[in-house]
Amino acid sequence: MGHRLLPLLAAFLFLGLLAPAPTTTGAQDAPVYLALGDSLAFGVGASNPSATGYVGRVYETLKKSERYQAAGLELVNLSVPGAKSTDLLAPGGQLDSAVNLISQRQQDASPAANEVEIITIDIGGNDLLALVAPGSPCLQSASVEPCRAAFGDVLKAIQSNLTEAVRRLRQAAPAAIIVVVDLYNPFSGTGDLREPIAELGVGQANGVIGAAVANAELQARAASVFQLFSGRGGQWIAPDGIHPNDNGHAVIAEAVLAAIAGREPTIPEGLLSVSPGATSAPIQPNVPNESNDDGGGVSLVIFLAGIGAAFAAGIVVCGAYFIARGRA
């Protein structure tokens, strides 16, 4: 199984080198909605990424709101398909670009009129790529200590890098609304053999994402899509089996808009039909994830006790999801 993944891995790594230029939409003298992240923020899986991806949908809805109807709104999307949490912090990366933009807007001739007011971030799925990269101990066995340690390091990196990214954004834009989107399980409700292991892996990643958002000093808001997608992988996932389709992006957009407005998400009735092979599951409220972090990292003992043999047998299969999650 590991050898089958290597050509796919190489292709996705190549795609990661093709970083697109930031996209800007709307009047440049208006307040700014700034988006950071990976392929989800870029709109992969949507029929028209810039329009029906979740960032485009959030932007169009905000533009029509009372706050921005008169003032207008500019969208700056810095997202890069394939980005990992470490890429956010890389010199000249998304975070540096975001902080520079915020600073420029604060110091130009239009004080407060065109500052960054809303920031969204989705990140973390691609960090798990390290578990199936060439040389990873997990390609040989997921039950060995080096693999367990590697998984713990990945989770710690997500929490540390995301926390630092949000901290720098908060320092640069003290009054901005910052929303962090968590991960979903694309196999949920499909009966796919990868469903349970993806549920466990994504759940652990969401634990550390939730821990970062829960840091009171950062004043960030959570847009949790994990429960919203629960049981609906057959409905809201694109043909690639990984990314959201138009309906999935619409659900993510609604979760983000709800977080911005400080309310619970309301999913349109047309998106709740049950597809063949998908099980029905109630829409859950936008509840921040709990973390088993003890302040110094993630407790792998609890994680491994819950996974057992299923983790050992399934992590390489699940790796296909973690690769394509932000690379395709």
Q: What is the mean pLDDT of residues 126-146?
A: 75
Judge contact between 283 and 245, C-beta under 8 A. no
- 150 within a domain of the structure (yes/no): no
Cα atoms in the 13 Å half-sphere on the side-chain side of 316: 17
Q: Which domain holds residue 44?
A: 18-127+156-294
- 210 within a domain of the structure (yes/no): yes
Number of domains in the chain: 1
Task: For residue range 279-297, list pLDDT tens digits in order.
Answer: 333 333 333 333 333 333 3
Q: What is the Cα Rg of the chain in Å?
A: 19
Which of 12-16, 112-116, 117-121, 213-217 is the least confident region? Answer: 12-16
Nearest to 144 by CA among 311, 292, 302: 311
**Statement: residue 322 has pLDDT above 50:** yes
**Statement: residue 129 has pLDDT above 90:** no
Tokens of 185: 């399980």
pLDDT of residue 68: 95
What DSSP character marks residue 238?
-
Q: What is the mean pLDDT of residues 6-27?
A: 53
**Statement: residue 48 has pLDDT above 80:** yes
Name the phi and psi angles at 41, rounded to 5: -65, -30
Q: What is the mean pLDDT of residues 9-21?
A: 45
Distances (CA, A) of 294 to 42, 119, 212, 237, 298: 33, 28, 12, 34, 7
- 207 within a domain of the structure (yes/no): yes
- 322 within a domain of the structure (yes/no): no
Q: What percent of the chain has pLDDT over 90?
A: 55
Q: What is the mean pLDDT of residues 219-241?
A: 95
Q: What is the pTM of this model?
A: 0.80
**Statement: residue 277 has pLDDT above 60:** no
Which of 25-29, 250-254, 318-322 is the least confident region? Answer: 318-322
Q: What percent of the chain has pLDDT over 70?
A: 73
Residue 250's domain is classified under what CATH number? 3.40.50.1110
Q: What is the DSSP string of 142-190?
A: SSSHHHHHHHHHHHHHHHHHHHHHHHHHHHH-TT-EEEEE----TTTTT
